[in-house]
Structure 1
Amino acid sequence: MALLPPLPAEEWDDKTRAAFIGMLARDRQNPEGAGTALSALAHHPDLTKAFLGFSVYLLYRSTLPPRLRELAILRVAHRRDCEYESQHHVPIAQEAGLTLDEIEAARHGEATDEFERTLLAAVDELEDKNRLSERTWTALGERLDKRQRMDFIFTVGGYGLMAMAFNTFGIGLAHDDEFGQER
């Protein structure tokens, strides 16, 4: 049962629609086009606008290479038991070059590439300890510069927050991604 179901279409007003401007294509700034997750967030337009700006950065403008971003997101989603994020990032991960076997392995903290294993272990370290050790920070620095490592930390935290919210609100699986795009 959803604690926070999608905002009904008749309750969408100009402020609600404005929360999506610049985040979604114009034809998606409505109850039907926004998708399940965003329609639930629409209950709080100010929060939605602020959070979407951050989320759009993490997904589209981050300095973290897409493949590594998706490995981190898949691991966070699995650890946070967020089926919504876990399923919605499969096609995004595939677009980033991951195979279905690699996606499944990443969920369990496994990878054939040594650096990718380090990155997945870093997700676990952040989830378990809320910080990275100097050793892990340095290990990530073998392939990632400081900005990329910062984006990594914010990706893990941002998607952890999103998983917490989606799980609490009861946002279930649908046929749209977190930005309302049909997949």
Structure 2
Amino acid sequence: MQNFVDGFRSSVASAAPEEGRQAGDNLLGTLARYPSLAMAFLTFNKHLLSGSALTVRQRELLVLRVAHIRRCDYEWAQHVVLAERAGLTADEISRVTAGPDAPEWTPVERALVASVDELLTDGAIADDTWKVLADDFDEQKMMDVVFTVGCYSMLAMSLRSFGIQPEEGLIPFLPTPR
């Protein structure tokens, strides 16, 4: 199992090197208690982190919105680090919490943020939102939107249910109390 986890870390890091990224030891240590599940999940998650048709910026908007809605501090903190490395400003990261109605979003960014809300509330992207995304995204990107939201929603539920605490290096990136 340790070789698999090490391979996951190195393949994701080599696809998108991120100096200073937190290793996620608390999460990976918990997953390692169930090796067959961990290997299946990490294989899928590796696609979302390094093989997705979405840009890193697009992915991070989705994940941050999921973390906010699911109230998952660990996921929020980890992905604030990744969002900053993808070029999102502090204002844009903060704006994720305001949702799709924040006036500063581009039409596609607004649709991405709205897609999270719709998927988590209704289980489907609304027709109007789908049309905005489909005007710019091909079929694979559209699929990656749905699977990214689904995966990170499931991960948020897991992190919270298992009581996984953020590593010390993530503490400065935790959300402010609601």
TM-score, with structure 1 as normaliser: 0.79
Q: Distance in 1 between matches of 2:123 and 2:48?
A: 19
Q: Distance in 2 between matches of 1:135 and 1:108?
A: 20
Quick check: 1:63–1:151 contact (8 Å CA) kept in 2? yes
Among 38, 42, 52, the residue aligned to 2:32 = 42
**Equivalent residues in 2 for 1:55-134 (5 A)?**
55-109=45-99, 110=102, 111-134=104-127
CA RMSD of aligned residues (A): 1.9
Shift of residue 124, structure 1, vs aligned partner? 0.3
Q: Distance in 2 between matches of 1:120 and 1:135?
A: 13
Q: Distance in 1 between matches of 2:141 and 2:43?
A: 18
Q: Distance in 2 between matches of 1:140 and 1:22?
A: 34
* C-alpha spacing 1:114/1:34, structure 2 compared with 1 (3 Å): closer
Greater fraction of residues in helix: 2
* C-alpha spacing 1:176/1:45, structure 2 compared with 1 (3 Å): farther
Identify unmatched segments of 5+ residues in structure 1. 1-15, 27-32, 178-183
Among 154, 167, 176, the residue aligned to 1:174 = 167
Residue 163 in 1 paired to residue 156 in 2? yes
Identify unmatched segments of 5+ residues in structure 2. 12-22, 171-178
Shift of residue 133, structure 1, vs aligned partner? 2.6
Match of residue 7 from structure 2: 22
Match of residue 6 from structure 1: none
Shift of residue 176, structure 1, vs aligned partner? 5.8
Match of residue 181 from structure 1: none
Identity of aligned residues (%): 40
Match of residue 148 from structure 1: 141
* C-alpha spacing 1:39/1:176, structure 2 compared with 1 (3 Å): farther
Quick check: 1:67–1:98 contact (8 Å CA) kept in 2? yes
Quick check: 2:70–2:153 contact (8 Å CA) kept in 1? yes
* Matched pairs, number: 156
Residue 135 in 1 paired to residue 132 in 2? no
Shift of residue 79, structure 1, vs aligned partner? 0.3
Shift of residue 142, structure 1, vs aligned partner? 1.9
Based on CA coordinates, which of the two structures has the bigger radius of gyration? 1
